[in-house]
Amino acid sequence: MRNVIGAPIDHDYLFNQESVIDRIWQRVEDQHVTLLSPRKFGKTSILLHLEQPPRDSWTTVLLDVSYLHSPEEFIGYMLGALASKYNWIHTAWQRVKQLPQTVQHLVAQTEVGVEPSESGAKFTLALRDAEETDWQTTAAALLRELDALPEKRRLLILIDEMGKMLELMSDNNRQQDARALMSWFKTIRSGMSGHLQNVRFVIASSIGIDRLVNKLGMPDAVEDLFPIYIDALPHDQACELFRQLAAAYDIETEPGVWEQATELLGGGVPVFIQMFFSEIRDLPQPITRQHLDEIYEQRLLGTRWRRSFVEYIDRFDRYGTDIRNLLVALLVTVARDGSATRDQLEAVYNQRRGAKADPIEFSEYLADLQADFYLRLEEGHYVFTVTILRSWILRYYGG
């Protein structure tokens, strides 16, 4: 067990994700999957685990699409990764007839083992030089060829951060491109062109894909994907993660320390546990419960980790300054009293928006705050999903 903060970790150090991994493998036998979680919950680490080594007859290809801005980039990256990953996939390319000449030339030139980002960039350029719809026909032709291979091979394509890619397209006024991509993607998975039998997709996102496709006017674009969620750890498992980290670093404590640490965090989010532990491990031993209160207030909520929390607010930048400030005001309202009703939050919204107030818009923003992990509804009141987020909002925005 290592205390790795933020970065994806080796599958040997995954904690309590075996059931999620097993569910994914079970579901991809007959369905495509969407893997959903807030940031820093271990989503990418799970994808890496699925990639190496895959199970049974599966071959896996992992794509990080968080920085892509167009359908051509997405398809080019996927085609480049497939062409350079395995010999049997490269061989399948040779049998595809419906390829633009520029793409055919690239297939012949691409060597197995080349970095996917390098080959993907070349395929993207080739698709941009081809006809407008060639990215659709080219990718569809290859996937059907792979799906029809006589060998007992199955291909699992793991796509990380598709939500971010769709947001980038929308932010760059390419909503029509995003719609075209999602429409093609739905069709190739399960549409009239024929269901894929031996090719499956796992689409992962830290942003609610449902919300994004709804805003694109395509609520059915992901209805065929089976959702699997990565939840926060239950209290007992969060305590166990603390204990395993302590054992790995030979940390001695008085009884009840890790239970109190979990209570202070108010939720078993692995990255917050790791941040807290990184501060605790430097204390004189044995660690006492009195130490924890000081560390929580002075260090965990202090300037050292501020960047990690600011990221949660920076995600509001996509709405523009006015809405960013509005969403922060809604969070502050919940933070000050520990909870708030819908009516209380709508009153804050109406005051801020004035003549622009729209009940549908308010409902969408409130849904966003829930989908992106900030708030949850509990017995008619909105509360923070974890206490530490509430503490941080109060510290820096509560006034």
Whether residue 109 has pLDDT greater than 80: no
Residue 342, token pair as written in the block: 């819908």
Most confident of the following: 153-167, 197-211, 301-315, 328-342 = 328-342
The pLDDT tens digits for 35-54 are 988 777 778 888 888 887 77
Whether residue 192 has pLDDT greater than 50: no
Q: Which are the contacts of 223, defined by CB distance < 8 A and separation ≥ 6? A: none
Least confident stretch, 25-29, 97-101, 143-147: 97-101
Q: What is the reported pLDDT for 111?
A: 60
Q: What is the reported pLDDT for 151?
A: 61
Predicted confidence band at 366 (pLDDT cuts at 50, 70, 90)? very high
Sole residue written with tokens 């995954």: 14
The pLDDT tens digits for 244-255 are 999 999 999 999
Whether residue 263 has pLDDT greater than 90: yes
d(CA 96, CA 146): 10
Are 61 and 155 within 8 A, CB to CB? yes
d(CA 253, CA 95): 64
Mean per-residue pLDDT of the chain? 82
Half-sphere exposure of 89 (CA within 13 A, CB side): 24
Whether residue 11 has pLDDT greater than 60: no
Predicted confidence band at 337 (pLDDT cuts at 50, 70, 90)? very high
Are 243 and 273 within 8 A, CB to CB? no
Residue 63, token pair as written in the block: 């794509």
Instruction: Using a pLDDT cut of 70, give the percent of the chain over it.
Output: 80
Cα 399 from chain centroid?
Answer: 32
Most confident of the following: 157-171, 253-267, 282-296 = 253-267
Dmax (CA) for the chain in angstroms is: 70
Residue 315, token pair as written in the block: 């995600």
Q: What is the reported pLDDT for 78?
A: 83
Q: How deeply is 40 buried, as exposed, middle or buried, from its count of CB atoms within 10 A (0-12, 13-18, 19+)?
A: buried
Are 392 and 310 within 8 A, CB to CB? no
Least confident stretch, 68-82, 280-294, 344-358: 68-82
Could you give the residue ranges of the DSSP H alpha helices within the chain? 18-27, 43-51, 71-85, 87-94, 101-109, 116-129, 134-147, 162-171, 175-190, 209-215, 235-248, 257-265, 270-280, 289-295, 306-314, 321-337, 342-353, 359-371, 387-397
Least confident stretch, 30-34, 113-117, 327-331, 376-380: 113-117
pTM given for the model = 0.81
Q: How many CB atoms lie within 10 A of CB 235?
A: 14
Tell how strand 381-384 and strand 375-378 pair up.
antiparallel
Residue 302, token pair as written in the block: 């202090």
Sole residue written with tokens 């699409």: 65
d(CA 37, CA 27): 17
Residue 46, token pair as written in the block: 């799970």
Residue 151, token pair as written in the block: 């060998």
Are 279 and 295 within 8 A, CB to CB? yes
Q: What is the reported pLDDT for 14?
A: 61
3-state secondary structure of 352: helix
Q: What is the reported pLDDT for 239?
A: 94
Residue 254, token pair as written in the block: 């008085």
Q: What is the reported pLDDT for 70?
A: 84
d(CA 281, CA 299): 13
Q: What is the reported pLDDT for 193?
A: 46
Predicted confidence band at 184 (pLDDT cuts at 50, 70, 90)? confident
Q: What is the reported pLDDT for 115?
A: 61
Q: What is the reported pLDDT for 284?
A: 86
Whether residue 309 has pLDDT greater than 60: yes
Q: How many CB atoms lie within 10 A of CB 86?
A: 17
